[in-house]
Chains A and B, each alone.
Chain A
Amino acid sequence: MSPDTAMTATAPAAEAAVRKGPPGAARGRRPGRIRRIGLPYLLLLPALLLELLVHLVPMVIGIVMSFKELTQFHIRDWGSAPWAGLDNYTVSVDFDAPVGKALLHSFLVTIAFTLLSVGLCWLIGTAAAICMQDGFRGRGLLRALFLVPYALPVYAAVITWVFMFQHDNGLVNHVLHDQLGITGKPSFWLIGDNSFAALLTVSVWKGWPFAFLIVMAGLQNIPRELYEAAALDGAGMIQQVRRITLPSLRPVNQVLVLVLFLWTFNDFNTPYVMFGKTAPEAADLVSVHIYQASFVTWNFGTGSAMSVLLLLFLLVVTGVYLALTSRGRRTAP
């Protein structure tokens, strides 16, 4: 906070003008002050209005909808849909009935998928960034290549993977079955249990470059003298990574892991392009599950209730995560 702006907020104008120094500054102070106070809000207005229109108001409406019995009969005039009380929620979390059971299954699949994907993305990204910390020939080219999966439009990349995972004419079966003979017969990758591995592969392929990019940027802020001092003290490569690199990256990792988690957990594009509107059970991520529950079965009330539950879960996880990681950071030396 600049001393100047701090004063306009707290100290009386006269006193501020005196302390400010040049006496000329006091002239025309009033209109200047009003503009000073109004201007930041004016600058924020467009962003605020748009966020309200596209995110916040729809979210509130979504929450209201979750308490309504909203089917295709009421979609033209959704306000007229009868209130459903907590029915949509009880249906969603009744794990003995089919709807709740399917949601729980989808939720657990998503958790497993997200943990594995985030873990692998972080590991590969960090390893690659550390490997490329010092200059070697072709480093710039390699860095550009590694960013290609991140730069490719999701649908183009995922459609290519879908082609590779085809049963009869795909590359994966050709290599695993025809060329290496690992599998007895060609496998199905986009239906059945294998679909989880297929989805994870695509997700990691697409996600790790972001971790790489962020960690690489974070590494540039670590002073080289730290490594030199450690090397003189006889610390080896692994020691240096453990004692200097990883602790220095902590603030970067705190944000990176959270962002990766939220993006992966909410990812709709990858499973939707891979499997279409109805995903195989083993790869039934919750975003597609809710889409399916809303737009395929035309039951928007229940779909909204599921979305609200998902949002609550993410809020709790984010809160706990930030509390835990921030406390750890403050007590650390």
Chain B
Amino acid sequence: MSPTRSPMAPPRSFLWTRRIFLTLLTGFVLLPVYVMVSSSLKPLADVTGAFRWLPTELTIDPYIDIWSTVPLGRYFVNSLVVAGAATVCSVVIAVFSAYAVSRYSFRGKRVFTVTVLSTQMFPGILFLLPLFLIYVNIGNATGIALFGSRGGLILTYLTFSLPFSIWMLIGYFDSVPRDLDEAATVDGCGPLGALFRVVVPAAVPGIVAVAVYAFMTAWGEVLFASVMTNDTTRTLAVGLQGYSTLNDVYWNQIMAASLVVSVPVVAGFLLLQRYLVAGLTAGAVK
């Protein structure tokens, strides 16, 4: 073996297969992204006739018109409030639960983890209608409007990301040495002091990963949003479909709107994906 090639160097045939496979895959992945971006810059005539790879002229009108064709701004704010609040609550609750499971042994620990994880398995459709009835009844009994309000949606969404978040954080907290929080306890911190001064700072990548996941879950959910919102609380997931029910389908505007609603999550995700990968490596995959 020549000294320049380590025994690990893959053969040439593999390199070529890899090049072709990854190129094709990149094309497949990027095709819709290209359609989204290019169509959002086309005049209406370009998207009503046969598909064109390139716009006849570039225009930013779709990006101006989207805000008036449907109340996109309101949907955007609703989504932001709902997803933001659901994320914060979900992360805080998951941190507490994961700390309890990771650091204490107590009766019912296994039952708790199995129950919480198994809720992931439920078909959403099974509890959609009962949940709707519960929210309506709570509203009638106490005056707390959950049905049709952002609060109800926040409550619902935060439980969607909770099981996976808890599961991932348990693994993450387990990898933080116990000696650290025992040392903190000796220094006079209570258990919660140890959690916030030692464990949480050491598990920041895992917590960021969980937050990204929770935000994406809430930002993208369609089923519950379509039943549990009204005109004023409608989120982007439902609101975006408003364009296609119009008499004329403005595909250039739909693509512009899709791009606008995607930018916050995609940008956030790509910036923080390192943490997500690190979090998965430490937590979920063991």
Interface residues of A (CB under 8 A from B): 1-2, 5-6, 9, 35-37, 39-41, 43-44, 46-48, 50-51, 53-59, 61-62, 65, 78, 124, 127-128, 131-132, 134, 142-157, 159-164, 166, 168-171, 173-174, 178, 205, 209, 213-214, 216-218, 220-221, 227-228, 231-232, 236-237, 251-252, 255, 259, 262, 266, 268-269, 272-273, 287, 290-291, 294-295, 300, 303-304, 307-308, 310-311, 314-315, 318
Given contacts A131-B21, A307-B125, contact A273 B49 (CB under 8 A): no
Separation in Å of the A15 CB from the closest CB of chain B?
18
**Residues of chain A contacted by B230 (CB below 8 angstroms):** none
- In this complex, which of B21, B126, B158, B166 has the most chain A Cβ atoms within 10 angstroms of its Cβ? B126
Instruction: List residues of chain A with CB within 8 A of the CB of B134.
Output: 53, 57-58, 61
A41 cross-chain contacts in B, Cβ below 8 A: 100, 106
B144 at the interface (CB under 8 A from A): no
Contact A152 to B115, CB < 8 A, known contacts A1-B105, A142-B22: no
- Does residue B70 face the partner (Cβ distance < 8 Å to A)? no
Contact of B240 with A159 in the complex, beta carbons under 8 Å = yes
Interface residues of B (CB under 8 A from A): 7-8, 10-11, 14, 18, 21-22, 25-26, 28-33, 35-36, 39, 47-51, 93-94, 96-97, 99-101, 103-106, 109, 112, 115-116, 119-131, 133-134, 155-156, 158-159, 162-163, 166, 178, 191, 216, 219-223, 226-227, 236-237, 240-241, 244, 251, 254-255, 258-259, 261-262, 265-266, 269-270, 273, 276-277, 280-281, 284-286
Question: B285 to A146, Cβ gap below 8 A?
Answer: no
Closest to A164 in B: B35
Q: Are A43 and B99 in contact (CB under 8 A)?
A: yes
* Docked complex Cα distance between A166 and B48 (Å): 10
Question: For A53, what are the chain B residues with a Cβ–Cβ distance below 8 Å?
Answer: 134, 155, 159
Are B129 and A303 touching (Cβ within 8 A)?
A: yes
The interface residues of chain B lying within 8 Å CB-to-CB of A221 are 281, 285-286
Contact A315 B26 (CB under 8 A): no
Q: Are A62 and B47 in contact (CB under 8 A)?
A: no
CA distance A150 to B262 in the complex (A): 11
Once the chains bind, are A268 and B125 in contact (CB under 8 Å)? yes
Least CB distance, B251 to chain A, in whole angstroms: 5
Contact of A78 among B14, B133, B216, B280 (CB under 8 A): B133
Q: Are A163 and B50 in contact, with the CB atoms below 8 A?
A: no
Report the bound CA distance from A149 to B273 in whole Å: 13
Is A153 in contact with B227, judged by CB distance below 8 angstroms?
A: no
- Docked Cα-Cα span, A327 to B237, in Å, equals 42
Quick check: B32 and A304 within 8 Å, CB to CB? no
Assembly CA distance A318 to B123 (angstroms)? 14
> In the complex the two chains form, is B126's CB within 8 Å of A236's CB?
no
Contact in complex: B18, A65 (CB < 8 Å): no
B254 x A231 contact (CB < 8 A): no
- The CA of A150 and the CA of B265, in the complex, are separated in Å by 10
**What would be 17 A-B contacts, judged by CB atoms less than 8 Å apart?**
A40-B101, A40-B109, A51-B163, A53-B134, A54-B159, A55-B119, A148-B29, A149-B29, A156-B36, A159-B240, A160-B255, A169-B51, A266-B124, A287-B123, A300-B129, A303-B129, A304-B129
Q: Do B261 and A169 touch (CB < 8 A)?
A: no
Kindly report which residue of chain B lies nearest to residue A36, judged by CB atoms: B104
- Beyond the given A174-B50, A268-B222, please list 11 additional residue pairs across the A-B interface where CB-CB is below 8 A: A40-B103, A47-B97, A50-B159, A56-B115, A58-B127, A65-B129, A143-B273, A169-B47, A171-B51, A217-B285, A259-B120
Q: List the 10 closest pairs (A to B, CB-CB), nearest first.
A: A58-B127, A58-B130, A307-B126, A151-B269, A174-B51, A43-B100, A61-B130, A156-B258, A40-B104, A40-B100
Whole-angstrom distance between the Cβ of B234 and the nearest chain A Cβ? 13
CA of A220 to CA of B277 in the docked complex: distance in angstroms?
A: 10
A231 to B94, CA, bound (A): 44
Residue from B121, B178, B284 in contact with A214 in the complex, judged by beta carbons closer than 8 Å: B284
Instruction: Give the Cβ gap from B135 to chain A, nearest Cβ, in Å.
Output: 9
Q: How far is the CA of A304 from the CA of B25 in the complex (A)?
A: 41
Question: What B residues does A39 contact at CB under 8 A?
Answer: 100, 104, 191
Within the assembled complex, what's the spacing in Å between the Cα atoms of A298 and B119? Answer: 26
Chain A residues whose CB sits within 8 angstroms of the CB of B29 once the complex forms: 145-146, 148-149, 205, 209
Q: Is the CB of B112 within 8 A of A262?
A: no
